[in-house]
Amino acid sequence: MPFPYHSELTKYLKTRSGEQSVAMRVHGQRNIHVLNHGATTYITASIIKLAIMETVMIQAAGKKRQLTEEEKDLLVPMIENSSNDAATALWRKVGKADGVRTAMRRMGATHTTFDPQNRWGLTSTTAADQVVLADHIFCPNTIIPASMRAYARKLMSNVEDDQDWGMTAGMATPFVKNGWLPRDDGWHVNSVASTGVNGYTAVGLAHSSTASMDDLVETIEGMARIIARHQRHNVTASSSSARRQTDAPASQTVSDHGHIPVRAPGTRDVWIQGF
């Protein structure tokens, strides 16, 4: 359904380069507010790692067991450091696209499509689907056990400092997972964030053939601040969540999706790996 402040968001996005999609749901409510300014589907890059994590948890719960130490040893770097190696290992473990697709459909995310060559970072999704997935971490449900949801929130609250940007703008004590990828058609930058179990989840997806990554991060943060202003009773601005980081994480070697060097948010001369 439309945002109550649809016109404010639209006016802002008309001043920004490229195309964007933003979605938000207050926890405990049924409706997801969505605004598409251009495309409706976007390449996920690293935000697909949330779905991979949830698939690991759903499959473990289906076998009536807890997460193994091996799984935790991969989940921690995949979420906190956005490790592509860890993501690829778990992607293979859960059955690649078929396994993740099955888990996503159980959660109600039905508008996401997977790359024919099984490159997880080239999955295409909608902002609403990402809200649905994130809310299975922040809201009670029968699909992911409470203990695993709490573990997922712990990881999302402890991401590397240089990855704390995007839809966290204006949030206090946020939980986040971001994704960024340069392709021949320009930058793809995405952010999934939540204020926690008693707040709301917000997703911003952006793509531009001309704007830089920094520009798209700024666009997403602008959308996030508009939402935060209208959710003032749930969230207060936090200097830690609004900060712009300058330290780049170490690059990683990957196989299933390629190695692509990119700029870190706020930097001009430090290169990091995409996704």
C-alpha distances (whole Å) from 14 to each of 8, 36, 220 are 10, 12, 13
CA 244 to CA 46: how far, in whole Å? Answer: 19
- How many domains, the chain? 1
Average pLDDT over residues 138-163: 97
Q: Per-residue pLDDT for 186 more than 50? A: yes
pLDDT above 90: percentage of residues in the chain: 82
List the one residue out of 193, 150, 164, 199 whose CA is nearest residue 80.
164
CA 50 to CA 203: how far, in whole Å? Answer: 13
CA 275 to CA 257: how far, in whole Å? Answer: 9
Q: What is the DSSP string of 224-262?
A: HHHHHHHTTTT----HHHH----PPPPP---SSS---EE
Three-state secondary-structure class, residue 34: strand
- Is residue 233 very low, low, confident or very high in pLDDT (cuts 50, 70, 90)? low
Residue 62 belongs to some domain of the structure: yes
pTM summary value: 0.86
Average pLDDT over residues 103-109: 97
Residue 206 belongs to some domain of the structure: yes
Residue 271 belongs to some domain of the structure: no
Q: What is the pLDDT of residue 173?
A: 85
pLDDT above 70: percentage of residues in the chain: 84
- The residues, any chain, with a CB within 8 Å of residue 24's CB and separated by 6 or more, are 3, 32, 33, 131, 200, 201, 202, 203, 227
Domain that holds residue 79: 6-245
CA 74 to CA 88: how far, in whole Å? Answer: 10
Q: What is the pLDDT of residue 258?
A: 28
Residue 270 belongs to some domain of the structure: no
Radius of gyration of the chain (CA): 17
Question: Token match 């999704």: residue?
Answer: 125
Q: Per-residue pLDDT for 257 more than 90? A: no
97 within 8 A of 114, measured Cβ to Cβ? yes
Dump pLDDT digits (tens) for 75-104.
Answer: 999 999 999 999 999 999 999 999 999 999
Q: What is the mean pLDDT of the chain?
A: 87
Residue 70 belongs to some domain of the structure: yes
- Return the amino acid letter for 193: A
Q: What is the pLDDT of residue 268?
A: 28
Return the biggest CA–CA distance within the chain: 51
Q: Write the CATH number for 156.
A: 3.40.710.10
Dump pLDDT digits (tens) for 124-150.
Answer: 999 999 999 999 999 999 999 999 999
Average pLDDT over residues 181-209: 97
Average pLDDT over residues 190-196: 97
Residue 33 belongs to some domain of the structure: yes
Average pLDDT over residues 157-166: 95
Sheet containing 19-26: order of strands = 33-37, 19-26, 200-208, 186-194, 175-183
Residue 253 belongs to some domain of the structure: no
CA 248 to CA 244: how far, in whole Å? Answer: 12
Residue 163 belongs to some domain of the structure: yes
